[in-house]
Structure 1
């Protein structure tokens, strides 16, 4: 098979967000979900493909043609340390580094819809040590 299930594709930030994007709120840890107990643990989740820690964030797409539920985007940072966003108010303009998208199908009632999961390796201008080229394995 040429493209494997769950494949992530590198996308330049300017292509995915031509009008830019804003970070809503803070960047938080993603915790591991225990399927057997049906609850989250206190352990931080690790990406199986890269071995890096997962951090979650919520973005808003500034593009004029994006409306409704498509304006808010859930993003997962893959990084050994928590990315540090720029100082600012509740919504802060950011530019993502190592942006990747992963196509997936979601079901809405009786209909299926193609959506994307978004991943990034860092934030432009962040000096926290979170930057790592996309696809690079953890040491």
Structure 2
């Protein structure tokens, strides 16, 4: 098979309706290397970079409640800083760059996906300049 390792995908392929941060960016724990007294942060198997994770809620209205929240792992040498919250909203929209998915069979025997990214930021749609009447003239 020609595809080996993580499969490159775009943000729009994974979250066509967008997504929102619903928790903190945290270290991913390496359960094999950690002990009761010492926690070791996990590293990506392919790049060796430190792994962080952030829970996000998929904005797809067709998903069931149990399917809406997923953790996105971020490869970064330092803890990523999420975008600022939107004023007056409990949700923080986010977009990820340089995404990959890795399919696997979870503990219940179902197909699941590990989602990784290299960057997170405010969605481009929210940062684009909106022309006003003066600009159009």
Tell me the TM-score normalized by structure 2: 0.76
CA contact (8 A) 2:83 2:121 kept: no
In structure 2, the residue matched to 1:12 is: 10
SS of equivalent to 1:102 = strand
Quick check: 1:24 aligned with 2:22? yes
More helix by share: 2
In structure 2, the residue matched to 1:63 is: 60
Whole-angstrom CA distance in 2 between matches of 1:43 and 1:105: 25
Query: What RMSD, in angstroms, separates the aligned Cα atoms of the two structures?
Result: 2.3
- Over 3 Å counting, the alpha-carbon distance change for 1:107 and 1:26 in structure 2 is closer
- Over 3 Å counting, the alpha-carbon distance change for 1:45 and 1:102 in structure 2 is same
Q: How many residues align?
A: 120
C-alpha deviation, 1:40, in angstroms: 7.5
More strand by share: 1
1:93-133, Cα deviation, whole Å (9 max, x unpaired): 0000111111111243xxx32111110101135xxxxxxxx
SS of equivalent to 1:31 = coil
C-alpha deviation, 1:35, in angstroms: 6.2
Whole-angstrom CA distance in 1 between matches of 2:81 and 2:48: 20
Question: Where do 1:97-112 residues align within 5 Å?
Answer: 97-108=97-108, 112=109
Shift >3 Å, 4+ stretches = 34-37
CA contact (8 A) 2:102 2:114 kept: yes
Gaps of 5+ in 2: 123-137
